[in-house]
Amino acid sequence: MSANPLDSPPDRRTQILRASMICFAKRGFHQASMHDISAEAGISVGLIYRYFENKDAVISAMADEHKREIHDVLERARLAPTLLEAFEIIFTWDCSENSPQIVSAFVVDLFAEAGRNPRVADLVRDVARTAMEGVTDLIARSPEATNLPYDLQPCEITEMIFAVNDGILMRDVLTPNRTSAERRERQTQFARNLWRLLFSAKPEPALA
């Protein structure tokens, strides 16, 4: 087809996973057919099976991708100069893509699938655990958290953060028309509000 070495073996796996993400977000794991995926990827159905053993393997690979992405986000959050900025990175992790609603739809489906498919459940649990450990550590090492408000345990704070974060994501499937920028703006606001509630003794004068 093309002799361009840049796309010659266009990394089929990635190509298929990208198409799968779109289809899964649009129709759900089990409503998306292998034909949907192949059409979205612009390849034949059979070719998918050269790269994935079966449909479940595609789902698992997507979960793996998700895991990797969350790890990247955590890494970036760790490098942030302030805890507030780390919060902002974490709360907007799904807004870098062109179509953020794809990410939220996918993740909600991923959790739904985790409720039934043990292989997926293990993966998602693993992601959740690692992410929480990372954030707990982040907080523990940050100056803002030297004297935590009230008697909240660090892990309680982390749980609160992730609950808010996942709750936003879950509700996002209800407003699919928000642009990436709007979403980012909104989620940044959540990050700041939560940060203030948690670490700020007094209201900030002028942040937003």
Partner DNA sequence: AATGAATGAGGCTTCATTCAT
Partner DNA sequence: CATGAATGAAGCCTCATTCAT
The residues of the shown chain that bind a copy of itself, judged by CB under 8 A, are 25-28, 30-31, 101, 104-105, 108-109, 111-116, 121, 124-125, 128, 149-152, 156, 159-160, 162-171, 173-174, 176, 189-190, 193-194, 196-198, 200, 202-204, 208
125 binds DNA (CB under 7 A): no
| Nearer to DNA among residue 53 and residue 126 (C-beta) | 53
Contacts of 120 (CB under 8 A, 6+ apart): 59, 60, 63, 110, 113, 114
49 binds DNA (CB under 7 A): yes
Q: What string of DSSP letters covers 35-48?
A: HHHHHHHTS-HHHH
Plot region of 94 (φ>0 → left; ψ -120 to 50 → alpha; else → beta): alpha
Backbone angles phi, psi at 131, to 5 degrees: -65, -40
The answer to whether residues 135 and 78 touch, using CB atoms and an 8 Å cutoff, is no
For DNA, how many residues bind (rule: CB under 7 A)? Answer: 21
| Nearer to DNA among residue 2 and residue 177 (C-beta) | 2
6 binds DNA (CB under 7 A): no
Q: How far is the CB of 80 from DNA (least distance, A)?
A: 40
9 binds DNA (CB under 7 A): yes
| Nearer to a copy of itself among residue 44 and residue 149 (C-beta) | 149
Number of Cβ atoms within 10 Å of the Cβ of 135: 24
Q: How far is the CB of 177 from a copy of itself (least distance, A)?
A: 11
Contacts of 9 (CB under 8 A, 6+ apart): none
